[in-house]
Amino acid sequence: MPLRWIGEPDPADPRYRDLERRVNLALHGAVYAAVNSGLWFTQMLRHPWSYPGLFSLVWLLALLAHLAIVAQRRIR
């Protein structure tokens, strides 16, 4: 089902807030994928950095926490 809103957005509407949380989660996931793929690509080319795995793991945990918050608020 596509994410869309028909009509005037009302921040007080719970359906609108749910859609906003899901869109923010999708944006968070897209930025995570773009930054991490660029980081690993650059690291493999010429800039050895000893912490890309830790950086990716910490950010992944933040992304999973974001997913848990969105899922928990969706159930209510």
pTM assigned to the model: 0.80
Q: Is the residue at 8 inside a domain? A: no
Q: Is the residue at 49 inside a domain? A: yes
Enclosing domain of residue 37:
14-75
In the chain, the number of structural domains is 1
- What mean pLDDT value characterizes the chain? 87
What mean pLDDT do residues 33-55 have?
A: 86
Q: Is the residue at 46 inside a domain? A: yes
pLDDT of residue 2: 63
pLDDT tens digits along 17-40 = 888 899 999 999 999 999 999 988
Q: Is the residue at 34 inside a domain? A: yes
Q: Is the residue at 4 inside a domain? A: no
Residue spans of alpha helices (H) in the chain: 14-45, 52-75
Coil, strand or helix: which one is 12?
coil
Q: Is the residue at 36 inside a domain? A: yes
